[in-house]
Homo-oligomer: A and B are copies of this chain.
Amino acid sequence: MEHPWIPNSHRAVLDEMLEAMGVSSVDDLYRDIPPSIKLSPEEWDSLPIGEGRPLREAEVLARIERLLSRNRYFTDPPPFMGGGVWPRYIPSAVKALISRGEFLTAYTPYQAEISQGLMQALFEYQSLVAELLEMEVVNASLYDWSSAVGEAILMARRVTRRERVLVPETMNPLHLETAASYAYGGGVKIEEVRVDRETGFIDLEDLERKLSHGDTAALYMEYPSSYTGVIDENIEAAGEAVHRAGGLFILGVEPVSMALLKPPGRLGADVAVGDGQPLGLGLNYGGPYLGVFAVRWEGRLVRQMPGRLIGMTVDAEGRRAFAMILQTREQHIRRAKATSNITTNEALMAIAAAVYLSLLGPQGLREVAEASWYMSHYAARKLSELEGVSAPLLRGEFIMDFTVRLPIDAAEARRRLLEKGVLAGIPLGGFSFFTRNDMLLTVTEAHSKRHVDLLVDLLDSVLGG
């Protein structure tokens, strides 16, 4: 069998190579595998892997067509759903650039001299996000927002040598689950702090109470909250409180909102995390996304941060050049003492985000955030006019996500809307202090007035009866 992806698979080539090696057959190269566990080609070939035989390209393309035809694509309107990733406007140039083979098929740039372009692109990602967050150091990416939270709390444990991490009770539950997994490995205890039922802001008294134990490694907050949408006005006070108590202040941010909001670097955050998905990445049913991780310019933070860093330096001839830096933090050098086990990250997505931020610039990014603000507030206003609907449910300001209370079960409302071709928000029953009638709705710049009006009309019809 000759295969297009295996140039030496032609029998004549293989035989020529085997002969040069003085080896009688391919089998001979596996002679050190104990016979009891060595599979014969017949045994292996009869396993139900794929369709049990190689498919020719046209057959594969037919399978692809079939797969694609078995999903429903919501574009008109896009899903009214966030939860940590969002339907957003994506400039077409992003994918065109990251699908260039030189980027797409490259490895981690271990050889600086032949990979300067890749390194520069990653350095630019780090630099652009640094400006967005006003944090000095940004790594070349982690997996996603939630695992970045996990890494951040492990880092806080290393930096402070304390075990307790506080989070608001309205923290994104999926992020919390992930953080809990990391915490389980690292021996960190996560404790929830009360959130005000009216405003959605963190309860400062409860926070102070919990900080008073004196063993808090960090307080983690979202800004804006990815599960209530609220911009917490107590955030600066909370940060000051945790700093007074000797802990780190970790902020999880939605990056586009940073065009309108005072960035974490100005709020005293020691660490900022988030997801770069809004920066030009598709939803793609789960990923790849982009874990953002940034720290202040402080040695104990930088030296304890996880992940790869590209730095600017010079080459032997004094010209600007780029290199991987501070690698002594990483697993391939430091092994069991590394700051994380991460190696493969989300580099290509980081380049996508760099392209996005370059295209949008300060003005474009602000326009995106403003459009989100307008469309979501327009939606809230229209919804609030429906009988029995409270929107927004919480008093805190928001930019694109907001909670609503419906007169019926939110999951049921969602089902009915789906029948009419609209993907509504996330039902909040069981989450924190919310009821079964509550829903997290998302409206971004990707939604038009027509989309919102349609949602409101359809909701009206499924509610009213």
Contacts and interface: CB of A to CB of B under 8 A. Distances in A.
Interface of A: 4, 57-58, 61-62, 65-66, 75-76, 89, 91-92, 96, 100-101, 359, 445-446, 448
13 contacts: A4-B359, A57-B89, A57-B91, A58-B89, A58-B446, A61-B92, A62-B75, A62-B76, A62-B448, A65-B75, A96-B101, A100-B100, A100-B101
Contacts of A76: 62, 65-66
Q: Which 4 A-B pairs have the closest CB atoms?
A: A58-B89, A65-B75, A57-B91, A65-B76
A348 B66 CA distance: 30
> Considering residues A58, A62, A448, which has the most beta carbons from chain B within 10 angstroms of its beta carbon?
A58
Nearest to A65: B75
A205 B164 CA distance: 100
Nearest to A91: B57
Given A4-B359, A62-B76, 15 more contacts: A57-B89, A57-B91, A57-B92, A58-B89, A58-B445, A58-B446, A61-B92, A62-B75, A62-B448, A65-B75, A65-B76, A66-B76, A96-B101, A100-B100, A100-B101
A55 to B, nearest CB: 12
Contacts of A61: 92
A92 B62 CA distance: 13
A9 B61 CA distance: 44
A66 B96 CA distance: 21
A73 to B, nearest CB: 9
Contacts of A58: 89, 445-446
Nearest to A73: B65
A253 to B, nearest CB: 23
A100 B101 CA distance: 9
Nearest to A104: B96
Contacts of A100: 100-101
A437 to B, nearest CB: 32
Nearest to A60: B92
Nearest to A61: B92
Contacts of A359: 4
A58 B88 CA distance: 9
Nearest to A58: B89
